[in-house]
Amino acid sequence: MKQAFLFITLWALVSTSCSKAEHTEAPKEQEIPKPEQEAPKGNISKEKVKQFFVKHLLGKTTSFQEGKTLSLTEIAHTQQEIWQSWKEANQSFSEEKLGDLAPLTNATQGNRWQLPVNLEANATMPFYWASKGNQPEKGYPLFVYMHGSGDKHKEWANGKTLARHFEDAPSAYFIPQIPNTGELYRWWQKAKQFAWEKLLRLAFLSGKVDANRVYFFGISEGGYGSQRLASFYADYLAGAGPMAGGEPLINAPVENCRNIAFSLRTGAKDNMFHRDLFTRYAKEEFEKFKAEDPQGFVHHIELIPNAGHGIDYRPTTPWLKQYTRNPHPKKVVWEDFPMDGIYRKGFYNIAIKERGAERVRYTMNIVDNKVSINVDEVTYKGIERSPRWDLFTKYQKTHIPLQKGKFVVYLNQNLVDFSKEVTVVVNNKQVFKGMLQSDVQHLVNSCATFFDPERVFPAAVEVHLN
């Protein structure tokens, strides 16, 4: 393998100011300066990239600053080299791994991960990592199952039994047991977020899983968790299928699920914690967005007549398995929100450098070679309160154009044509126009950010809102 990587640096550091007037009226066309062509940089060794990845895995969050320009013909090969360096860094990184993917019928003892004590004390997560059927050429579809809030040992065993009977083979399963009970019996809390990201990272590196066929689903408490996680991690998922659940939509913004398949099945008489009500509100919201945007928001949301908390769980995974992730959608809606105090680093091809508000919505639409992005601050106002539990059941959202923050728009040839000029417009103001320049720097940083073989991006435009 080559010791040096070739590459082209694109760094469009463009300050954009936006006001309410600028958001509603297109400004006069201004000449946007072309990015300066930098002198070629020195070669970047494979070992230097690998060491950066190792430091990243250890928690150091600085960006990779060195670069080398790439011609269009060099991108694909260099992406493979960067992914190989990422793979080698993970292999050398000392941590508890996934282990071998064993047949589900033989899974009598699970593996376990010790989750970081700074996220949750005494948090040991046992799990089954198993498969059904023969591995497809592109890898197994991966189903991640989250159990309900009964006795955690019985719930975990029941999850394995259910997985054996679901008609979704060939498939791989990750079936975890909740580490702790009581107030920590929540699949969306920060220690569990660590586990999900570790799972995705290691599954993508395993060679056993199709990165474009990952599905989160669960029952009852696992339904709450998988609904929240579907919105939070939608960019990794082909689909999600909470059952016997239902969340206030402030916890799981529907907009984020535009590009996945979403199933939610709840008994029509399952009124504890307003599960039936929240399921109906989710259905109304998905139907509203689907009517406005027919190419997105694939969903099957059902209030099952005459059913209570116990329903037929069998339809969900076969329905989900029909759908494959598009890792490079040209239209993205992302409400960037904290879950248990933790934010995502990015979503699809957008990476955050500085947040300008507690909740921010990014709406990206790419037509031909024009990338249009609206960035808004999101605020919520409770408009309906539960008479039984102390919580709001419905909210009204307000969106106001945001005037501060910094983010990176990563691009590849699935999104735009690199042989032609690209225009980037943010809040109706042109912030970049020119030929994209591919750079190993962007490949390395996007790989570290997303740890996703489908999202190792060769080009980037950085946008400042101020």
- For residue range 158-176, what is the model confidence (pLDDT) as tens digits? 999 999 999 999 999 999 9
More confident residue, 257 or 28: 257
SS3 assignment, position 129: strand
SS3 assignment, position 183: helix
Confidence of residue 44 (pLDDT cuts 50, 70, 90): confident
Tell me the HSE value of 318 on the side-chain side, using a 13 A CA sphere: 7
**What are the structural domains of the chain?**
12-93+331-465 (no CATH), 102-320 (3.40.50.1820)
Taking 90 as the threshold, does the pLDDT of residue 30 lie above it? Answer: no
What is the chain's mean pLDDT, rounded?
92
Q: What is the pLDDT of residue 25?
A: 33
d(CA 147, CA 168): 18
Q: What is the pLDDT of residue 34?
A: 41
Q: Closest by alpha carbon to 259, among 223, 287, 296, 293? A: 296
Q: What is the pLDDT of residue 109?
A: 77
More confident residue, 312 or 37: 312
Taking 70 as the threshold, does the pLDDT of residue 10 lie above it? Answer: no
Q: What is the pLDDT of residue 4?
A: 35
Taking 70 as the threshold, does the pLDDT of residue 366 lie above it? Answer: yes
Q: What is the pLDDT of residue 19?
A: 31
Task: With beta carbons less than 8 A apart as the criterion, state whether 317 and 300 touch.
Answer: no
Average pLDDT over residues 230-241: 99
Average pLDDT over residues 110-138: 97
Taking 60 as the threshold, does the pLDDT of residue 8 lie above it? Answer: no
Task: With beta carbons less than 8 A apart as the criterion, state whether 412 and 328 touch.
Answer: yes
Taking 60 as the threshold, does the pLDDT of residue 16 lie above it? Answer: no
Confidence of residue 61 (pLDDT cuts 50, 70, 90): confident
Between 26-40, 48-62, 222-236, 435-449, the lowest mean confidence (pLDDT) is in 26-40
Confidence of residue 110 (pLDDT cuts 50, 70, 90): confident
Q: What is the pLDDT of residue 299?
A: 99
Confidence of residue 9 (pLDDT cuts 50, 70, 90): very low
- Find the radius of gyration of the CA atoms of the chain: 23
d(CA 38, CA 206): 38
Between 30-34, 243-247, 270-274, the lowest mean confidence (pLDDT) is in 30-34
